[in-house]
Amino acid sequence: MAITVISPAEALRRARAGATLVDVREAHERATGFATGAIGIARAELEADPASVLPEAGAEVLLICQSGARSLKAAQALADAGYTCLASVDGGTTRWMAEGLPVTRPDVDTDFYDRYSRHLRLPEVGESGQRRLEAACIAMVGAGGLGSPAAYYLAAAGIGTLVLADDDVVDRSNLQRQILHTDARIGVPKVESARTALSALNPRLTVEAFPERITAANVERLIADADVVIDGADNFPVRYLLNDACVKLRKPLVYGAVHRFEGQVSVFDAGRHRGHAPCYRCLFPEPPPPEAAPNCAEAGVLGVLPGVIGLLQATEAIKLILGIGEPLTGRLLNFDALAMRFRETRLRPDHDCAVCAPGREFPGYIDYARFCAGT
């Protein structure tokens, strides 16, 4: 049947005369305001079981959404289900408000619904997922090339708490790639510079800043409350230390590394999945000789490369917290910027691994600097 389309003013008149007005938008959309008197139920829920909300099939039902498209489709679905007296509100809630008709505004956190509205539209995230992100804590070691893009996007995405550990200060040579920092903050501790930038982007975020070099003495304190740990370090001793601590404390570790024009990303989750997921030591039982793996200060790095890798790390962290998609657990993603090519390598757990082998007690922390120096 053809669906009647009526103006908001006509819908208000009919609703006051006894018609049932139904707002078929999602809950987060209705939280910013809805037509006074409307019943709120998302379109999918309404179409799945209209009888639980609506009166008998012959009663007058008016449907409204944001602009009029969803309400028209919902009306057609109801018509197919046997409802005979239907109308869709032209222009939806947007026009209703523009014409100054009565609106009910719930006492809600409008900043939350406005700020994360695009996440809230994703069924895989929704309000429950966004609340999960806001309750999450991510520990990030390094507020430099990898930490900058990762932290920026995690803050924007609504992660509630970021723990940042870095003992360095901002240097002019950092600015080619470390986008958290500015020329005006040269000489400022990187974690404080990061706090300034991230808080300006999302004031809902809590930043716990530790201007400390991570060591065996403080690593557990820094990552103890984290749901996910991100490795943004630029040296092997810290990578091995973080790996061992994450295995011991059963934390997922999102690994990233860059070298000149190439980068790597993976998720090491052996602490929670012994014998099924590898750890960093399964991939690199022994560190390469120092001369074979110079850091960025020695070898140089394409400025945009840490941006690509850091964003991939942020993506993996968000997926882990939401429990969606397929994480990079057991997979190493290699990126070649010059060829613009990604290549994936499958990783298997080493059942003789010194740290994560099933049934093996944690061996304790070691002198990681000496271990990586080969002495």
One domain for residues 171 and 236 = yes
One domain for residues 84 and 162 = no
Supply the CATH number for residue 142's domain: 3.40.50.720
Tens digits of per-residue pLDDT, 255-309? 999 999 999 999 999 999 999 999 999 999 988 776 666 667 777 899 999 999 9
DSSP helix/strand/coil, 350: coil
Tell me, yes or no, whether 37 lies in a domain: yes
Single out the residue of 109, 110, 91, 111 nearest to residue 101, CA to CA: 91
| pLDDT tier at 108, thresholds 50, 70, 90 | confident
pLDDT for res 290: 66
Q: Which residues pair with 86 in a beta bridge?
A: 61
One domain for residues 81 and 151 = no
One domain for residues 193 and 98 = no
Tell me, yes or no, whether 21 lies in a domain: yes
pLDDT for res 292: 60
Residue 296 catalytic?
yes
* pLDDT above 90 for 361: yes
Tens digits of per-residue pLDDT, 26-69? 988 898 899 999 999 999 999 999 998 898 889 999 999 999 99
Tell me, yes or no, whether 45 lies in a domain: yes
Strand pairing report for 34-35 and 103-104? antiparallel
Catalytic residue among 296, 353, 356, 372: 296
One domain for residues 309 and 362 = yes
One domain for residues 198 and 102 = no
Structural domain ending residue among the three candidates 108, 140, 156: 108
One domain for residues 95 and 165 = no
Where residue 208 falls (left for φ over 0; alpha for ψ -120 to 50; beta otherwise) is beta
Q: Which residue has the higher pLDDT, 107 or 324?
A: 324
pLDDT for res 234: 84
* pLDDT above 90 for 191: yes
Structural domain ending residue among the three candidates 62, 79, 108: 108
Tell me, yes or no, whether 113 lies in a domain: no
Report residue 22: phi and psi, to 5°: -125, 125
Identity at 20, one-letter amino acid code: T
How many structural domains comprise the chain?
A: 2
Q: How many CA atoms lie within 13 A of 181 on its CB side?
A: 27
Tell me, yes or no, whether 41 lies in a domain: yes
One domain for residues 66 and 85 = yes
CB neighbour class for 41 (10 Å; exposed up to 12, middle 13-18, buried from 19): buried
Tell me, yes or no, whether 193 lies in a domain: yes
What mean pLDDT comes out for the span 221-248?
96
What mean pLDDT comes out for the span 133-145?
97
One domain for residues 130 and 260 = yes
Structural domain ending residue among the three candidates 108, 134, 164: 108
Q: Which domain holds residue 40?
A: 4-108
pLDDT for res 299: 79
Cα separation, 239 vs 232, whole angstroms:
9
Supply the CATH number for residue 73's domain: 3.40.250.10
One domain for residues 58 and 163 = no
Q: CA dist 22 to 78, 92, 151, 284, Å?
A: 12, 11, 41, 59
DSSP helix/strand/coil, 11: helix
Tell me, yes or no, whether 183 lies in a domain: yes
Single out the residue of 101, 105, 106 nearest to residue 89, CA to CA: 101
What mean pLDDT comes out for the span 221-238?
95
Tell me, yes or no, whether 23 lies in a domain: yes
What mean pLDDT comes out for the span 207-226?
96
Sign of CA dihedral 128, 134, 140, 145: positive
One domain for residues 230 and 128 = yes
Where residue 229 falls (left for φ over 0; alpha for ψ -120 to 50; beta otherwise) is beta
pLDDT for res 175: 96
Q: CA dist 225 to 163, 194, 286, 307, 364, Å?
A: 9, 20, 29, 26, 20
Around Cβ 151, how many Cβ atoms within 10 Å?
31
Tens digits of per-residue pLDDT, 302-352? 999 999 999 999 999 999 999 999 999 999 999 999 999 999 999 999 999
pLDDT for res 43: 95
Tokens for 225, please give them: 């409350």
Q: Which residues pair with 36 in a beta bridge?
A: none
Single out the residue of 245, 232, 235 nearest to residue 165, CA to CA: 232
Q: If you average pLDDT over every residue of the chain, what do you get? A: 94
One domain for residues 248 and 369 = yes
H runs (alpha helix) in the chain: 8-16, 27-30, 43-48, 69-80, 92-98, 110-115, 117-120, 126-135, 147-157, 190-201, 219-223, 236-249, 280-283, 296-299, 305-322, 368-373
